[in-house]
Structure 1
Amino acid sequence: MMALLKKLFKQEKVKIDFCQNNLDKFLSEQCFSDFNSFLSQKNIDFKEYTCQSKCEICEESPYAIINGEVEKAETAEQLLKKLKERVNR
């Protein structure tokens, strides 16, 4: 039922920003295709920045900024799971 409702009503675009340095550090080749599939959805607008001046977070763990809020995780796989949960709310 929920999937049908989502199709009937246009979803708002979700803006996700990434730090390129952070992706280079934490994103494995295994996880890359999963991220690519997720980010290719019509309701997602993403952008990579060279640096987002969040160096303390960047050194510790993978993160993304989703609609202006920082979302971080222990692994890239966990970050992707959190991003999917946020988008599908």
Structure 2
Amino acid sequence: MKIFFSKFFPSKKKIQIEFCQNNLDRHLNEKTTLAFSQLLQQSHIHYKEYECLSNCSTCRKSAYAIVNGQVIEANHIDELLLLLKEQVSK
């Protein structure tokens, strides 16, 4: 029965997003905090903030997150948000 329903009502793929707290502190502002909050409230997204993800060279030069094990980096936090939205909609 599960196969029958999954053909007609496919569930969204679960997405794991990891953030470096130091990186977020460096790049987030009020506007982007609200936008990230709305994105991360989706039921198929699981996220976790770590104090440090040991990607120091990436952290120093750009905003980044790890999506399902893949590093996604951007020059600006707004660009990172757009890239995350693309990953979520795949």
TM (normalized to structure 2)? 0.89
**Superposition deviation, residue 64 in structure 1:** 0.1
Q: Secondary structure at the match of 2:49?
A: strand
1:77 aligns with 2:83: no
Q: 1 CA distance for matches of 2:29 and 2:79?
A: 12
**Superposition deviation, residue 12 in structure 1:** 1.7
Deviation per residue, 1:22-51 (Å, 9 max, x gap) = 000011111100000000000100000000
Match of 1:32 in 2: 33
Q: Secondary structure at the match of 1:31?
A: helix
Deviation per residue, 1:35-81 (Å, 9 max, x gap) = 00000000100000000000000000100000000000011110010
Aligned residue pairs total 83
Rg (Cα) greater in structure: 2
Q: Secondary structure at the match of 2:43?
A: coil
Over the matched positions of the two proteins, sequence identity in percent amounts to 43
Q: 2 CA distance for matches of 1:59 and 1:32?
A: 20
Match of 2:51 in 1: 50
TM (normalized to structure 1)? 0.90
After TM superposition, which residue ranges in structure 1, 4 or more long, deviate above 6 angstroms?
Answer: none
1:17 aligns with 2:18: yes
Q: Secondary structure at the match of 2:25?
A: helix
In structure 1, list runs of 5 or more residues that go unmatched: 1-6
Q: 2 CA distance for matches of 1:46 and 1:80?
A: 14
